[in-house]
Amino acid sequence: MSAHTPLFEVRDLRVAFGPGGILGEAVRGISLHVDHGEVLGIVGESGSGKSVGMLAALGLQPEGARVSGSVRFKGRELVGLPRRDLRELRGSRIGMIFQDPLSSLNPVMTVGDQIAEAVRLHNRDMSRKAALDRAKDLLALVSIPQPDRRLQQYPHEFSGGMRQRVMIAMAVANDPDLLIADEPTTALDVTVQAQIMDVLADLKQRLKIGLILITHDLGVLAGHADRVAVIYAGQVVEQAGVDDLFARPGHPYTRGLIASIPDMTRMDDRLFSIEGTPPALGHLPSGCAFNPRCTVAQDVCRHLAPQTHVEGDHNATCHFAFQNVVSAA
């Protein structure tokens, strides 16, 4: 593309399981990038490879998985980097937020100690006292009231939403450049979801971090992402600016996802759903991976893998990209 290097760039990332990859690839060549102050949404069903891919990009792949391709953070290649160097990046330059705040905190350590530990892991000579002060500021940053008192409490004394705020505080403890949030709101109820998204949006604004938001809910991305990558069966099938994606979805899968968002202003028929389930690891259909579930699939889709069609900043990988042959919904 241009001469400038993006903050975080993934190129043709592949994650294979089993000896020699015989169990199949969970991630089959994902390419995406995110910049400072930008929110990239990654959307896909459970098992589409979105979490595995992002974890593998940070060297957190499951044991026995083989990662290939290229992951560049500020121009530095992460694939094949020694464990020690990766560890120094994680939690300092790259923060990570997990799905379930209920189980992501150590139940036998106070919240203050856990945040302080996250700080001191990357600032060896900082005193415990100074780290706890920093922890207090961080709790205030994510809008937790009474941070002084809260520091001394254990995770079970926090509500789900509050715990997720603590997780976010830990993730941004060392002023990261990049934050990867893996389904940060899935385990929370809807009103709390909105609050957590506001906290993230606020942090992105104030700290100018790049944010990768992994979710299975396209609706969450509508108000918060700048760009969206749609992942199906371990591949990016469509990538576009968020408004463009919603206005002109180029891939039938994206159209299905958009149609599946409940519309509260309409009272008519049943909610649309995409029939079938994603293919299992190592059992990909021939041709386009989406063809068995696609409403517009033709003969060619069953035999030939589709090419990526590019229109400006918008690309879609489908034989019939950008052609609304038959409306899905």
Partner 1 sequence: MTALSAPRMIRPRWLTLPLMVGVLLVLFWLLATVVAPLMTAHDPLDMVGRRLQPPSWDHLLGTDALGRDVLSRTLHGARHSIPIAVAVVILAVAIGASLGALAGFLGGLADTVIMRLVDVTLSFPPMLLAMAVAASLGPGLWNAAIAMVIVWWPVYARLMRAQVLEVREREHVEAAIASGATRTRVLTRHILPLCWTPVLISATMDLGQVILLAASLSFIGLGATPPTPEWGSMISDGAAQFYSWWVALGPGLAILTIVLGFNFIGDGLHDYFDPRSR
State which of positions 46-65 bind partner 1 (CB under 8 A).
Answer: 58, 60, 63
Q: How far is residue 323's CA from residue 314's CA, in Å, rounded to a whole number? A: 14
Q: How far is residue 170's CA from residue 172's CA, in Å, rounded to a whole number? A: 6
Q: How far is the CB of 78 from partner 1 (least distance, A)?
A: 14
Choose one: 2-10, 91-99, 125-133, 200-208; the region binding partner 1 (CB under 8 A): 91-99
Choose one: 18-26, 170-178, 271-279, 280-288; the region binding partner 1 (CB under 8 A): 170-178
Q: Please pick, from the candidates 79, 109, 258, 281, the single residue that binds partner 1 as defined by CB under 8 A.
A: 109
State which of positions 267-326 bind partner 1 (CB under 8 A).
Answer: none
**Residue span 111-140 as binding mask against partner 1, x where in contact by CB under 8 A, dash where not:** ------xx--xx------------------
HSE-CB at 41 with a 13 A cutoff on CA atoms is 27
| Full DSSP string of 169-224 | HHHTTT--SEEEEESTTTTS-HHHHHHHHHHHHHHHHHH--EEEEEES-HHHHHTT
State which of positions 70-89 bind partner 1 (CB under 8 A).
Answer: 87-89
Burial class (CB in 10 A: 0-12, 13-18, 19+), 100: middle
Q: How far is the CB of 56 from partner 1 (least distance, A)?
A: 12
CB distance 25 to 14 below 8 Å: yes
Task: Give whichever of 10 and 105 is closer to partner 1, judged by the CB atom.
Answer: 105
3-state secondary structure at position 27: strand
Terminal-to-terminal C-alpha distance of the chain: 35
Q: Please pick, from the candidates 16, 40, 96, 199, the single residue that binds partner 1 as defined by CB under 8 A.
A: 96
Residues forming contacts to partner 1 in the complex (CB under 8 A) are 58, 60, 63, 87-92, 95-96, 98, 100, 103-109, 117-118, 121-122, 167, 170-171, 173
